[in-house]
Amino acid sequence: MIFMLTEKQSPQSSATRMLTESALLVALATVLALYAVFKLPNGGSVTIGSMVPIMLISFKYSFGWSLLAALAYSLIQMMTGFYAPPVATLGFYILMILLDYVVAFGVLGLAGPIYRGLNKGLAPRLRLMIAAVLCIATRFVCHFLSGIIIWAAYAPEGQPLWLYSLLYNGSYMLGEGLISGLILYLSGQKLVSLFLGEKA
């Protein structure tokens, strides 16, 4: 029940609550990412909804704050599961860090703005699910581009690079999207009323 809102809070207590909740959710996302359903050899895995806690921050707080939390999570992901690319130039390393970590996880901070921008006539849990799927689809685009530009050396001989990247990254991002979307859809009513303080 740590996410329930109190009626009156001082600015200091609100900031403390925001920092505490965000830190706990980033920690939860990190733990969930460690227990993957399966992992691919060159990076990428299907987890038990590890992106959901980061999106919850975005659903509740401002875009600036949620983007900061998402970037912090991307750095943790990079430190706990970095895969060196098959390239030797500094430029490719920087591009890989941006596409596979910073931007790929940073887009999770868009979940809140997307949720709030959707038609209010839609059921809240449907809006949560749509926002999640769109964020995860954007993350897929980052990995897809990275697969073509950076990880091309691992493509089977004769296979188009776009197809290799589509199959490799799509194989785990599809699972991630389905699991995250399902979690938010099934728990959406309680999340909206308890966590977001809105009427379900």
How does residue 199 score in pLDDT terms, banded at 50, 70 and 90? low
Domain boundaries, the chain: 11-195
How far is residue 146's CA from residue 99's CA, in Å, rounded to a whole number?
6
How far is residue 92's CA from residue 5's CA, in Å, rounded to a whole number?
45
Q: Give the pLDDT score at 190.
A: 80
How far is residue 155's CA from residue 75's CA, in Å, rounded to a whole number?
27
Average pLDDT, the chain: 87
CATH architecture entry for 11-195? Orthogonal Bundle (1.10)
171-183: string of b/e by CB count within 10 Å (b at 16+)?
ebbebbbebbbeb
Using one digit for the tens of pLDDT, what is the confidence trace for 60-74? Answer: 999 999 999 999 999
Q: Are the CB atoms for 124 and 189 separated by under 8 Å? A: yes
pLDDT at 194 over 90: no
Please give the structure tokens belonging to residue 103.
Answer: 């931007």
β partners of residue 27: none
11 class by beta-carbon count within 10 Å (0-12 exposed, 13-18 middle, 19+ buried)? exposed
Using one digit for the tens of pLDDT, what is the confidence trace for 93-105? Answer: 899 999 999 999 9
pTM, rounded to two decimals: 0.86
